[in-house]
Amino acid sequence: MNTVVKQFFLALLCVSFFALSAQAETTTPTKTIGHGSYSVTIQSDFQDVGQLSVSVPLNSEVSGRFPHSSMHSKVYTDGETILFVQRMSAPVSNNYFKPLSGTNVAKWGKNWLKNSYSMNVANTTREFNKYNNFIKNHSLTEATDYTVEIFDRLVSPTSIIRVLAFTPQGTAKLPAVPKATNRYYVEINK
């Protein structure tokens, strides 16, 4: 083999090695939870803690109707942050969720609407008190105040995927976590 070809292959080998090394250093190992539109990719240092289902009241334009649904959660923690990866379907097939609000962000392999709140465990909603009890019962990072980031998105008109990220250090400047009826509205699809 002539010298020019040897130098070319050596240069190519060096560039490939350094490119792979740089990529390995910047890539954080991840794992995927769920399937299809409900999948979420989180860092692999989050460990599975358990599951929880919480009944959630929804807001409706129909007088006298008080629809409920359930947030089905898989819970993960990295030792500090606690993630509740959730999904919820409309209570009846002809009920559609109205569009959600929040700041557009890309995270966990998807585009989300993000809202940030504070939660004081002594004064919170019935729904979030159940998340707090789960945290206590599973000996996770307990605090009197949490910052709660809600990432949610409509998967379809009748289905929502949501991630709650609890960090033990509340921020008084953030609004308190809202009731589900202030966040999730269903309407009858005619």
| Measured distance CA(106)–CA(98) in Å, rounded | 21
pLDDT score, position 22 = 44
Is 3 among the domain residues?
no
Is 94 among the domain residues?
yes
Number of domains comprising the chain: 1
Is 11 among the domain residues?
no
Those residues of the chain that have pLDDT short of 50 are: 11-25
Q: What is the pTM of this model?
A: 0.82
- Closest to 57 in 3D by CA, of 78, 75, 71, 38: 71
Pairing outcome for strands 59-60 and 185-188: parallel
pLDDT score, position 58 = 87
pLDDT score, position 12 = 47
Is 7 among the domain residues?
no
Token pair, residue 48, equals 């599975």
Q: Which amino acid is at 38?
A: Y
Is 4 among the domain residues?
no
| Measured distance CA(59)–CA(78) in Å, rounded | 34
Is 150 among the domain residues?
yes
| Measured distance CA(45)–CA(58) in Å, rounded | 34
Residue 86's SS3 state is strand
pLDDT score, position 7 = 57
- How many other CB atoms are found less than 10 A from the CB of residue 165? 19
Is 20 among the domain residues?
no
The two most distant CA atoms of the chain are separated, in Å, by: 86
- Burial of 57: CB neighbours in 10 Å, binned 0-12, 13-18, 19+: middle
Query: How many CA atoms lie less than 13 Å away from 101 in the CB half-sphere?
Result: 5
pLDDT score, position 54 = 94
Is 6 among the domain residues?
no
pLDDT score, position 26 = 52
Domain ranges, residue 150: 29-188
